[in-house]
Amino acid sequence: MSDSVAIEPLVLDNISIVLINTTHPGNIGAAARAMKTMALSKLVLVEPLEFPSGKAHALASGADDLLTRARVVGSLEEAVADCHFVVGTSARVRGVSLPLVDPRACAGRILGEAGSGKIALVFGREDRGMTNEELQMCHLQVHVPTDPDFSSLNLGAAVQVMAYELRMAWLAITRGEVPLPSPRTHDLASQDDMERFYEHLYKTLVQIGFLDHSSHEKIMAKLRRMYGRIRPDRIELNILRGILSETGKFAESAGSSEEAQKQ
């Protein structure tokens, strides 16, 4: 008799590996190979320099189906629009103090979330990684605890480390060693909903005079981090949008009555 737990393959299908602006097509192939060996299949490429490419196929070494089905998009925002959980990877620990985890802890978190919707695991450029703005779209930052004096893995190697940890976490669940996380019962807001909310929030905070041009970047980064921690569901986000709309209307009518008094 087997003690193994049936875990929907769908859980792994919910995980996308996103590569931003990859310069060397060979790294895209190496990433595809790393993914396929660990049963991951969704590859998303944000404006790759050269793709499709024979060099990618050469390094994919049999994982060509992942390259053929790879989704190519114009921005990270587009790549993660339908995701409710986004994880960024970084060779350096950044000033944007997102919650920081190692790959093992991260894999557990991702599988815990993957039963409830789509997840993106994002990798940066070979020369300069992810920008701070891109990391601000993430809920979590993962760092492979390399030697601080030589911390940067090759992109394909970084994908392999993460894919391996996801595989180990998945196997632990299928063997019944770790409980299968239950899916959420409420519908979390997608990253696209969140980005539209942040735009609305920014506009309203400028309108009421809370933000000015010198302070807005730091404050918006902190607000994004706070809402990323809270992770509102769709209904909660609609309530917040409603409050912003009413605040905007109130500020507008207060502004026009002040104008009328002056005349």
Is 237 a residue that touches ligand SAH (CB under 6 A)? no
Q: How far is the CB of 70 from ligand SAH (least distance, A)?
A: 17
Q: Determine, following the binding rule CB under 6 A, whether residue 112 of this chain makes contact with ligand SAH.
A: no
Query: Is residue 17 near ligand SAH by the rule CB under 6 A?
Result: no
Q: Which of 24, 36, 118, 143 binds ligand SAH (CB under 6 A)?
A: 143
| Structure-token pair, residue 134 | 């891109």
Nearer to ligand SAH, 94 or 184 (CB): 94
Does position 262 interact with ligand SAH (CB under 6 A)? The reply is no
- In the range 70-99, which residues lie near ligand SAH by CB under 6 A? 89-92
Task: Indicate which single residue of 128, 213, 218, 262 sits in contact with ligand SAH (rule: CB under 6 A).
Answer: 128
Q: Name residue 162's amino acid.
A: M
Q: Is 218 in the site for ligand SAH (CB under 6 A)?
A: no
Residue 130 interacting with ligand SAH (CB under 6 A):
yes
Minimal distance, residue 131 CB to ligand SAH, in Å? 10
The least CB distance from residue 85 to ligand SAH, in Å, is 17
129 touches ligand SAH by CB under 6 A = yes
Residues 6 or more apart whose Cβ sits within 8 Å of residue 200:
241, 244, 245
Minimum CB separation of residue 58 from ligand SAH in Å reads: 20
Asked whether the bond before 103 is cis by omega within 30 degrees of 0, the reply is no
Work out whether strand 140-142 and strand 71-73 pair parallel, antiparallel, or are unpaired. Answer: unpaired
Residue list 154-213, contact with ligand SAH (CB under 6 A): 155, 158
Task: Please identify, among the stretches 39-47, 78-86, 146-154, 246-254, the one whose residues bind ligand SAH according to the rule CB under 6 A.
Answer: 146-154
Name the residue among 142, 122, 146, 241 with its Cα closest to residue 193.
241
Minimum Å gap between C-beta 246 and ligand SAH is 41
Query: In this complex, which beta carbon is closest to ligand SAH, that of residue 163 or of residue 244?
Result: 163
Q: Which of 34, 133, 120 is nearest to 79 (CA)?
A: 120
* Binding of ligand SAH by 224 (CB under 6 A): no
Q: How far is the CB of 218 from ligand SAH (least distance, A)?
A: 21
Residue numbers at the binding site for ligand SAH (CB under 6 A): 89-92, 123-124, 126-130, 142-144, 146, 151-153, 155, 158
